[in-house]
Structure 1
Amino acid sequence: MLRPILAVFEPFVLALLGTVVLASLLPARGAAVPVFDALTTAAIVLLFFLHGAKLSREALLSGARNWRLHLAVLVTSFVLFPLLGLGVSSLPMLDGPMAAGLLFLTLLPSTVQSSIAFTAIARGNVAAAVCSASFSNLLGIVATPALVAFVMSRPGASASISMESVEGIAVQLLLPFLLGHALRPWLGGFVARHKSLVSSVDRGSILLVVYTAFSAAVVEGLWSRVSGESLMLLLGACCGLLAAVLLLTFAMGCVLGFSREDSIVLLFCGSKKSLATGVPIAGLLFPAAQVGAIILPVMVFHQIQLIACAVIARLYAERAEREEAALA
C-alpha cells in the first residue's frame, strides 16, 4: 500500500521537481537559451537513435501493424480528451482565459519524446509508442487548429501549417530512429549490453525538456501573472483531468484486451499533451495578448503529467523486475 506513496520520492521524480525549482530560480536566459535548446535536441536525437538500434525489425513491424492500438491513442487524444475539456472548461469557478486555456490543452496532440521515454522505462511496447506518438503529433498539426475552430467557436481560426514543425519531427525523431535501426546489426549488441545507457538518455532527455520549457515560461513572467488562488484552481483542474484520462485509458486497455506492453503505450501516449506543439500552435491561432493565458494550463499540465507518469512508469518497471526475478 505504501509503494505508490513512496514512489513520489523516487530519485527521478525528485529530480523532476528539482528541475522545476531550478528553472524557477535560475532560468536559462540570453546566451544560455540556444545552448540548452541544442542540448535538448541532441539528447532527443540520441534517445531515438539508441531506441532504433535497440529494436528488432520484427518488433518494429509489429508496432506499425498494431492499428487497434494506434486508433485507440488517436481517439483518446482527439475525441475523449476534448469531451472532457468541454466539461472542465464549463466549471463556473474558472475565469474566461483559464477556461479557454484548459479547453485548448485538451485539443493538443500527444507528446513524443516523453511518451516514448516513459513507455521504455515501464517496459512497454516502444516500437508501437514511436508509431503512435509520432503519428499523433504529426496529425495534431492539422487536427488541433481544426478542433480549435470547431470546438472553441472561433470563425476563421484555421491557421496555415508550418512545414518547420513537420521537418522538426522528421529530422529530430524519425530520422535518428531509422538510422539507429539501420545500424542495429553493428550496434544492437552494444546497446543490449549497456541498458543503463539507454535509461540515462531516457531520463536525461526528459529533464532537459522540463528545464528548457519551464525556463522560457518563467522568463516570460509566469509567476507575476498568476495569483495563488488561480494557480491552485488550475492545479486542481489539471490534476482532475489527468486522473480521469489515466483511469479511462487504463480501463480501455483492459476492455480492448491489449497486452500489458500495449496497455502501457495507450496509458502514456493517450494521457499526454504536447507543450512543444501547443505553444507554436497557440501563437498562430490566438491574438498575442491572449497567448500567455492560453498556454499557462498547458505548461502546468505538462509538469503534472511528467511527474505522475514518472511514478507510474517506475511502478511498472519494478513490477516487471520482480516478475523477471521470480522467473529466474
Structure 2
Amino acid sequence: MTRVATLAVAFVVTLAAVIGGAAAVGFVTADGAAPAPAIQNDHYQNPDLIANDTPGQATVEMDASAASQTVLVDPGVEATGPGPAIPISILGLGGGGAADRDIRPLANALIENGHDVGVYVPDPDQQRRSARPGTDRPTQLGERLAEADAFVTFRTDYDERELDEIESFVESGGHVVLATEPDEAYSQPGAAGLDATLDITTEPGYVYNMAENDLNYQRVYAEATGEAPLTEGVERAVFPSATPVGAPVGGTDVLRPIEGSELSTTRAPTEAPLLVRNDGVVAVGDADFLSPENARRADNDALIGNLADFLVTNDRTPPGPPGEGGSQGPTRPPEPGQPPANGTAG
C-alpha cells in the first residue's frame, strides 16, 4: 500500500471515530447543530433570582391640592461650553441633551396638576459676571430660587454663595429633594458642603443584594420603616444604584434596604437608609428611580407621586425687596372670600 493510500485510510477511520463518538454523546443533531446543555448551576436555579421582567404600568398621581407652585430642577449640568444646555432634554422631552436626566414621570405629574417646572442650567458668562469682587447681586441659582417654591437637585458642586442661597431657601419654607448616586462621593468634592447645608449625610459605596433583587444585584429593593406621607402606597421601591444617606439631626429614616442587602465598601450587611427626610429636605441615595422605565418597577410610581406632593405642600415665604424683610405669608394665594395671608387687603 502506498503512503497516500495509507493516509487516506487513516483519515477515514479517524473521521468515523469522531462522528460516531459525537453521535453517542449527543453532540450531533438532525440539523447538524449541538443542543444547548441543561444548566446545572444552582445559582441560576434560585427562584428568588429570576427577576420579574414584566414592569407593569406606571401611574404617578398626586393627592395634594395646593395652588400652583414653581418647582426648580437642577440636573447637575456644569457651566461649560459656549452656551447653556437644552433644558427640554433634561425632562426627557428632547433628544441628544447635555444631561442624562429623564424625570418625565415627576415633571408630568407636577405639570398635569397645574404646577410649573423650571430647569436650572448655569450660563458660564453670567456666572463670571456675578462672581466679580464687590458684587452683591445673587448668583444665577439664587435668582431662580427666589422665584421658586421647591427645588430638586442632583448634587451640582455648589460654591459658598450658592450654598448660602440654598440654606436661605430652606429656612424660608422651600422644600428640597436631593437625589444622589454612589459615584458622587468621589466625582464632586464640594458635595460635602451641600450635605452640611441640608443637614444630611452620604456614605461612599453602593448597596447590593445577591439574594433578592430586581433584574440584577445592584437594583435593590427598599421598604418603609413606618407609616409616613412619603411611603403611602409604597410596599417596595426599587433603586437601580443606591448609596446610603442619613439625616442625623432630627431627621427620619423613610426607606431602608430589604434583608440580605450589603454595602460594597465593607461587604457587610447594611440597614442604612436609602431615603430620609429632615423637615423640608428629602435625600434619596439614587437618581435613576425617577426615569420612565424605573417608574414602572415595584411601587416607584407611588413614591414619585408622594415626592411630588411633598414638593408642593410647602410654606415658602420668599424674601421681599431690600428693607422690607420679606413677605409675611406663604406664596400660595388665599382661598376665595378669604383675606390674604399677611392680613392686608389685596
Between Structure 1 and Structure 2, the one with more strand by share is 2
Q: Give the TM-score, by structure 1 length.
A: 0.24
If asked which structure has higher relative contact order (CA below 8 Å, sep 6+), I would say 1
Between Structure 1 and Structure 2, the one with more helix by share is 1
Q: Give the TM-score, by structure 2 length.
A: 0.23
